[in-house]
Chains A and B, each alone.
Chain A
């Protein structure tokens, strides 16, 4: 692998600028003549906007403009779109209400913008915003799905009667009913998957700069996918044509999905920049992040699992209500359908599955993809069901899983996904060994003698990553293809620039992508630069989400590298008067195999650009590009086991051990992979124990600051015990499966399974706060 090649624990190149405060984030950028935007947001969950009086504000110092939703309508700026069409079981398309970037008539969640003040400074904009008088007529509101689906509930959108967006099904209902009719045992479970606020460290921000002479827009924004942002802004929002809009996503401080979407603030900033003739900057504060960043999860589910007399699963029935909030965010419709129900087979042989998902509007912040996106919900449901089944059937939970593991690959599930490879027993073996599963009973007894309730919980997750084969997702309703692009530019002096459509917002692409080049050419990673995040520099690409950057983005780079290497070998062969077939690349040199004849990469590059002596008919230059479209999803999987203690006096959980045995296929940089797993586990454990975005019955958010919303801190978490078992992914040449979301997908069920084991009561929802656990203990 070489010291900097594939598999090496190379220190991250980008960290020097991050840890010395030299990162360049959107808010660090200042343009000449820049104005500042402050949004006026609804304090009501549901209200009519009767009148907006900005006359006093317009007279205040430094105020440039006050713009309203009606002006957006007047200028024919498009409504926000949802990019994945879902069809209900009755064949009808999903039912969506319009989402204007600022509400001209009706607000439907607390924090929805109705107007924006543009002023010379942020503080002046805030001052003026307080002088804008908005007259609201409050309407009844509804925040939770169970209430929203009842007859007589407040209605959000006339287009969606009963607040229902869709009622979607997957699987074979008849076969599933037949399996249940013959079942020896049926296990039933109700679970709530709690709503989460994503809380990237960097809040969202945008700077829009309109050049009137060129009729050209530049948008600096906190995006995980700047090209997708440009496409959507151009094609649907009628703000700027694609060739007149440059989108730059510079350093971005975390996304977790929440920065995939194109939000009202970017749209308004672009539009306003043209209206006021000056650059417009908006930087959200933490409260705005809680109120307007798309939330995650929020499912209510009833599930039943049928078993035969040998404890083999014969069927699974699932009914889920998914809370979408007040509007359909960009990819929201796909999350509780094709990213959720297609993973309901878990790691198990389940002959028949039927799932129904009802998408529901409520007067809350829109919900969309958040680290894992649908797959954590599926994994949590299946792994809670397996644990519940083991307790009901009185078998060891690990053994029940082994009894039902898929062991032959490829494996076609009844819910679309075809798993390519895996070794679920190997992961479970590794995790059980790491935690000394066999010795647990003795440790539990020892803890009991000290007044502590000890529990152990298993979670065997599988996810679909490497998103995604374009033809497949297109057939399921996606509005985009999910390939990735790359360009390899060898400079005349032999240094290399890799242009990628992936975007790094913490993942370490600037290091791992260089490692592939180092592996193939034998040159140090210091000779390689990764260029990303600027639509004027980089060819069209799809961005970073769904653990896709290595499996899809890096494969695109590999394809471009192969083309470049092929041309370089021809040039080398010509220079060395050898056969192209005899050229090998080693340590930065092109060598004639079996001889001492060689030419260094810089000389090959120089030859390509001087073009003095190229093979006949060859074009000058050394630059190649590739588009790579995967043939299947990838299927990272693994086994997590959590051992913990509950203090019966306070209900507080303390970790004893947490082991994660993951199969991510080939690892490019194990250190970065471990960092990804640590972060994912922190979010999964955060969901299980701490995090919950709560609304009261009137749709008022209760947890809109860190004083109330419990983020996991370092001392809430154990020191993780990680290991890897590897089956190479057959779907891409590097054998990569992806690692970005696994921790968040697998951890929650392990924690709740362990707590419910400790307290001897299975009736516990997330987050398992001390109060909740204590009340559950005392309800038993």
Chain B
């Protein structure tokens, strides 16, 4: 690791002003990506500004038809949150599948979506549930937030404060775990909103990061059942291919995981 200056911010405003002072500052949440990258000397921030101890950024709250997960809430807290399990159990289940226990105790939703790894779990939930990302400056629809591999709508110095999820009528998540990293080899989140809209998002599959699957959404709109997808064909073009899965295999997984997510959603 290169020399860096560590700051523990006590408020979002303080974090933003510390960031502005650093020449090449980075925000630190759970550190599950930034710290390994720094240890490998692939990142050399001048300043690391820790958001993880800011009280206003931690917690899970349900209010009316909205579930809000504050940005520095660790995955373990979401997985075990009574509010999350009651309103969007598929989201609590998703959080329980992230990485391993050590990752779930440290990693946060804000860190995960700010990094936007193409195989991360949370982006699928945000996109399928039509969530809104709240930041220190504005609110951004999930649709607009994710902009390709490791790229988001966040501006320099902008801090995610919370993610608001509209409570759906039904939702389900199914994940094929990457055997080494335990990211998603491919995972699919399906949701039926209270207004009847069907939204399906896949992570780990596309070369462009998290994506909606219109063919599956259309089939489920006509018939909300796993068998509705039997004849849906997902093209392999544009999908990721590596030593753990060919593009064809991932195309198959998009469909199979969608079917299992529908079964889980009920």
Whether A706 lies near B180 (C-beta < 8 A) is yes
Interface string of A704-724 (1 = CB under 8 A from B): 001111110100100000000
Q: Judge whether A703 is part of the interface by a CB distance below 8 angstroms.
A: yes
- Tell me the smallest distance from the CB of A337 to a CB of chain B, in Å: 30
Known: A650-B176, A650-B256. 11 other contacts (CB 8 A): A130-B41, A690-B180, A694-B243, A702-B243, A706-B181, A707-B180, A708-B243, A710-B179, A770-B179, A771-B246, A775-B246
Contact B176 A774 (CB under 8 A): no
Give every chain B residue within 8 A of A652 (Cβ-Cβ). Answer: 176
Q: Report yes or no: A707 in contact with B181, Cβ–Cβ below 8 A.
A: yes
**B242, chain A: closest CB distance, angstroms:** 8
A126 near B41 (CB under 8 angstroms)?
Answer: yes
A769 at interface by CB-CB < 8 Å: yes
- Residues on the A chain within 8 Å of B176, using CB: 650, 652, 770
Set of chain B residues within 8 Å of A713, measured between Cβ atoms: 100
Which one of A123, A692, A707 contacts B1 once the chains associate, using CB atoms below 8 Å?
A123
A771-B245 contact, Cβ under 8 Å, with A123-B1, A649-B256, A650-B256:
yes
Partner of A771, one of B2, B249, B260: B249
- Which of A123, A650, A710, A775 is within 8 Å of B253, CB to CB? A650
Q: Which residues of A contact B41 (CB under 8 A)?
A: 126, 130
> Which B residues are in CB contact (< 8 Å) with A690?
179-180
| Docked CA distance A569–B179 (Å) | 61
- Interface hits, B60-94 → A, CB 8 Å: none
Interface centre among B179, B248, B249 (most CB of A within 10 A): B179
> Given that A126-B41, A707-B180 are contacting pairs, would A769 and B246 also be in contact in the complex, using a CB cutoff of 8 Å?
no
Does B21 reach chain A (CB closer than 8 Å)?
Answer: no
A775 to B250, CA, bound (A): 11
Using Cβ atoms and an 8 Å threshold, which residues of chain A touch B260? 649
A37, B72: Cα distance in complex, Å: 39
A703 to B180, CA, bound (A): 10
Interface string of B138-182 (1 = CB under 8 A from A): 000000000000000000000000000000000000001001110
CB distance from B65 to the nearest CB of A (A): 34
Q: Are A769 and B180 in contact (CB under 8 A)?
A: no
In the complex, how many angstroms separate the beta carbon of B6 from the nearest chain A beta carbon? 16
Cβ B244 vs Cβ A711 within 8 A:
no
Interface residues of A in 115-141 (CB under 8 A from B): 123, 126-127, 130
How many Å lie between the Cα of A771 and that of B41 in the bound state? Answer: 33
How many inter-chain residue pairs (CB < 8 Å) link A and B? Answer: 52
Contacts of B246 in A (CB 8 A): 771, 775
A sample of 15 inter-chain contacts (CB < 8 A) reads A126-B41, A127-B2, A649-B256, A650-B252, A650-B253, A650-B256, A652-B176, A707-B180, A708-B181, A708-B244, A709-B180, A710-B179, A710-B180, A711-B180, A770-B245
| A636-693 at interface with B (beta carbon < 8 Å) | 649-652, 690, 692
A contact residues around B252 at 8 Å (CB): 649-650, 774
What is the chain B residue whose CB lies nearest that of A705? B180
User: What is the CA–CA distance of A639 and B2 in the complex, to the nearest angstrom?
Assistant: 53
CA–CA, A367 to B249, complex, Å? 32
Return the CB mask of A739-780 against B: 1 if under 8 Å, else 0.
Answer: 000000000000000000000000000000111001100000
- In Å, the complex CA distance between A217 and B246 comes to 53
A441→B243 CA distance, assembly (Å): 35
* Assembled-state Cα–Cα distance A770/B243 (Å): 11
Residues of B within 8 Å of A769, CB to CB, are 179, 244
Smallest Cβ distance from B179 to chain A, in angstroms?
4
Query: What is the interface of chain A, defined by CB distance below 8 A to chain B?
Result: 123, 126-127, 130, 649-652, 690, 692, 694, 702-703, 706-711, 713, 716, 769-771, 774-775
Tell me which residues from 171 to 210 in chain B have a Cβ below 8 Å from any Cβ of chain A.
176, 179-181, 185
Distance (whole angstroms) from the CB of A40 to the closest CB of chain B: 14
Find out whether the CB atom of B249 lies under 8 angstroms from the CB atom of A774.
yes
Residues from chain A with a CB closer than 8 A to the CB of B253 are 650
User: What 10 pairs between A and B have smallest CB-CB spacing?
Assistant: A710-B179, A710-B180, A649-B256, A771-B249, A771-B245, A707-B181, A708-B180, A690-B179, A694-B243, A650-B176
Which residues on the B side are within 8 Å of A127 (C-beta)?
A: 2
Query: What are the residues of chain B within 8 A of A771 when measuring CB–CB?
Result: 244-246, 249
Q: Which residue of A lies closest to B182 (CB)?
A: A713
Kindly provide the distance from the CB of B178 to the nearest chain A CB, expressed in whole angstroms: 9
Residues of B with C-beta under 8 A to A694: 243
A127 to chain B, nearest CB (A): 8
- Taking CB as reference atom, which chain A residue is nearest B248? A775
Instruction: Determine the distance from Cα of A770 to Cα of B244 in the docked complex, in whole angstroms.
Output: 8
Residue of B whose beta carbon sits closest to that of A703: B243
A620 and B108 CA atoms in complex are apart in Å by: 70
In the complex, which residues 224-255 of chain B have their Cβ closer than 8 Å to any Cβ of chain A? 243-246, 248-249, 252-253
**Cα(A702)–Cα(B244), bound, Å:** 11
Task: Please name all residues of chain B whose beta carbon is closer than 8 Å to the beta carbon of A708 when the two chains form the complex.
Answer: 180-181, 243-244
A196: shortest Cβ distance to chain B, in Å? 14
Q: Which residues of A contact B180 (CB under 8 A)?
A: 690, 703, 706-711
A650 to B174, CA, bound (A): 12
Chain B residues within 8 Å of A707, by CB = 180-181
User: What are the residues of chain B within 8 A of A130 when measuring CB–CB?
Assistant: 41
Minimum CB–CB distance from B187 to chain A (whole Å) comes to 12
State A771–B243 Cα separation when bound (angstroms). 9
In the bound complex, CA of A769 to CA of B185 (Å): 12
Provide the residues of chain B in CB contact with A706, threshold 8 Å: 180-181
* Chain B residue contacts of A711, Cβ below 8 A: 180
**How many angstroms from the CA of A78 to the CA of B99 in the assembled complex?**
46
- Cα A770 to Cα B252 with chains together (Å): 12
Shortest C-beta distance, A83 to chain B (Å), equals: 34
Query: What CA separation (Å) do A708 and B252 show in the bound complex?
Result: 21
Q: How far is the CA of A651 from the CA of B256 in the complex (A)?
A: 11
- For B3, give the chain A residue with the smallest CB separation: A123
B243 CB, nearest partner CB in chain A, Å: 6
> In the complex, what residues of B have CB within 8 A of residue A709's CB?
180
Task: Determine how close the nearest CB of chain A comes to the CB of B183; give it in whole angstroms.
Answer: 8
For A775, the chain B residues whose CB sits under 8 A away are 246, 248-249
Complex CA gap A775/B247 in Å reads 12
Q: Provide the residues of chain B in CB contact with A703, threshold 8 Å.
A: 180, 243
Q: How far is the CA of A649 from the CA of B243 in the complex (A)?
A: 19
In the complex, which residues of chain B have a beta carbon less than 8 angstroms from the beta carbon of A651? Answer: 249
Q: How far is the CB of B41 from chain A (nearest CB, A)?
A: 7
Q: Give the residue name and chain of the A residue nearest to B259 (CB).
A: A649
A731 to B100 Cα, complex, angstroms? 47
- A39: min CB distance to chain B, Å: 15
Q: Which residues of A contact B249 (CB under 8 A)?
A: 651, 770-771, 774-775
Report Cα–Cα, A484/B256, bound state, in Å.
Answer: 57
Which residues on the A side are within 8 Å of B100 (C-beta)? 713
Chain A neighbourhood of B256, CB < 8 A? 649-650
Report Cα–Cα, A716/B180, bound state, in Å.
11
- With the chains together, A123 CA to B181 CA distance in Å? 27
Q: Which residues of B contact A716 (CB under 8 A)?
A: 179
The distance in angstroms between the C-alpha atoms of A769 and B176, with both chains bound, is 12
- In whole Å, how far is A74's beta carbon from the nearest beta carbon of chain B? 31
Report A-chain residues with C-beta under 8 Å of the C-beta of B1: 123
**In the complex the two chains form, what is the Cα distance from A707 to B15 in whole Å?**
31
A763 to B187, CA, bound (A): 28
Write out the residue numbers on chain A whose beta carbons fall within 8 Å of the beta carbon of B248: 775
CB distance from B120 to the nearest CB of A (A): 13
Max chain A C-beta neighbours (<10 A), residue from B1, B100, B243: B243
Closest Cβ–Cβ distance, residue B184 to chain A (whole Å): 13
Q: Which residue on B lies nearest to A706, using beta carbons?
A: B180
Closest B residue, CB atoms, query A126:
B41
Which parts of B40-61 form the interface with A (CB within 8 Å)? 41
Complex CA gap A713/B179 in Å reads: 9
B179 neighbours in A (Cβ, 8 Å):
690, 710, 716, 769-770
> How far apart are A665's CB and chain B's nearest CB, in angstroms?
37
How far, in angstroms, from A710 to B178 measured CA to CA in the complex? 9
